[in-house]
Amino acid sequence: MPRLPASVYWFRRALVAVVLLLVLWASSLLAAQLQWTLSPENPAGHSQPRPGYVIVGDTAVPVSPDGR
């Protein structure tokens, strides 16, 4: 089997690298979207975020958005 020219070899490697970078970029965008939509504070399908809670002893105390 004849050997491919060096330019074809480097073109293929560059093409694979570009495809890999595009896949990583797209997956990071998707992961960012999933992180926001699947967070416990704001589950998918709910427009209003639920308040966070702090556990004090055996009681869960809601935390207000202004930090009080």
Strand, coil or helix: 52: strand
Render each residue's pLDDT in the chain as its tens digit; 68 residues: 788 788 889 999 999 999 999 999 999 988 877 766 555 665 555 555 566 788 888 888 888 766 55
Which two three-digit tokens encode residue 57?
């002893």
**68 within a domain of the structure (yes/no):** no
How many structural domains are present in the chain?
1
Using the Cα atoms of residue 23, residue 28, residue 34 and residue 40 in order, give the sign of their dihedral. Answer: positive
End-to-end CA distance of the chain: 74
Domain extent for 40: 6-63
Q: Rounded distance, CA 25 to CA 29, Å?
A: 6
Distance CA 42, CA 48 (A): 7
The answer to whether the pTM exceeds 0.75 is: no
